[in-house]
Amino acid sequence: MGQAAAALDSCTLHAWTGWVRQQPAVVRIGVIALTGAVLLATLWLVNAFGLVAGWVGLHGDWVQSPLT
């Protein structure tokens, strides 16, 4: 990544965090909740929950990714 692209990424990140910090608490909590939901969905789709469930001996259909 070039120096200009890195500077743009840094500037964009600072702009985003600055915008989020200025928002009311309900918006900040919503951003956190949405981020968490995307993270959990991604882990489920890559079958991370199914892998860990297999390690500890839990076998539920819901923990298996629909992509496996």
pLDDT (tens, 9 = 90+) of the chain, 68 residues, equals 566 666 656 778 889 999 999 999 999 999 999 999 999 999 999 999 999 998 998 888 888 888 87
Model pLDDT, residue 6: 63
Give burial (CB, 10 Å; 0-12/13-18/19+) of 66: exposed
pTM (2 d.p.) = 0.73
Are 16 and 28 in contact by the 8 Å Cβ rule? The answer is: no
Model pLDDT, residue 12: 85
Per-residue b or e along 2-38, where b marks 16 or more CB atoms closer than 10 Å to that residue's CB: eeeeeeeeeeeeeeeeeeeeeeeeeeeeeeeeeeeee
